[in-house]
Amino acid sequence: MWPFTPATTPSTLSPSQSLPVEKGDPVLLEKSSGRAEVPGAQEFPGITGHANERLSIPFIIRAPLLLTSSFVVGFSLGGAYGGPIAAYRYRAENAHRLPTTQAGWYLYHKSKNYHSIVGGAKEGVKLGGVLCGWATIFMCCEEVVDRSRGRIFAKADDDVAYGQRDTASTVVAAMSTAGIYSWKKGLDKFTAARMAKIALKYSLLYGMVQDLAASLRGNRPAYVDWVLRKSLGERPAIET
């Protein structure tokens, strides 16, 4: 039995009383008698009706949002970096033929601005695509770890299968992504260690924010119930 098991086992619903659950969801614990246990999903449906998903948003909706936001951030950073670089390059390439008339200076600055916009857009699309790709790797790793942990506890007939979307999965996904990045870029061991520390720090912060949001909605992770029982003697959020 996992050490973070809630003290009270959730009640078992009959087939006529059970609520619809997505097919393949590790939260659903099928019994040979036809009964289904869905701990917490009925008591706390969450803001969007997907209590067992991260941020109460299903993966099929959360994925496009994350990819879009990562691309927008990458495009903004790439544009802010690529625009000035393209302008400096234009000035360097034309330093030997500076205009001497007012009309010439007007056309010079107009052409420089054009090169700056085009260079910023190219760099923004490039960096946005790169960030989008790494965000995809992180998101897929996190979802795979979440589903794998849930299925493992569901197969073990453990009632904490619903509470496995927590900081641990986020840290594992971030560390895996950092390792893939270090290997792909051929970083030395010191730079790779620094990258791993950064990934650990920010993944802990990001995961704790998600766990806090889930706890405030009433669908707190299983380890939170364990900590509260050990420190405050509080009973788990789900009662029979």
Residues of the chain with pLDDT under 70: 1-52, 56, 156-163, 226, 233-240
- Residue 60 tokens read as 């099929």
pLDDT at 14: 47
pLDDT at 234: 54
pLDDT at 160: 62
- pTM score of the predicted model: 0.65
C-beta atoms surrounding 24 within 10 Å: 8
pLDDT at 28: 44
Q: What letter would DSSP give residue 30?
A: E
Using an 8 Å Cβ cutoff, are 204 and 234 in contact?
A: no
Using an 8 Å Cβ cutoff, are 145 and 169 in contact?
A: yes
Return all residues near 59 (Cβ < 8 A) that are at least 6 apart: 53, 143
- Residue 76 tokens read as 């903004």
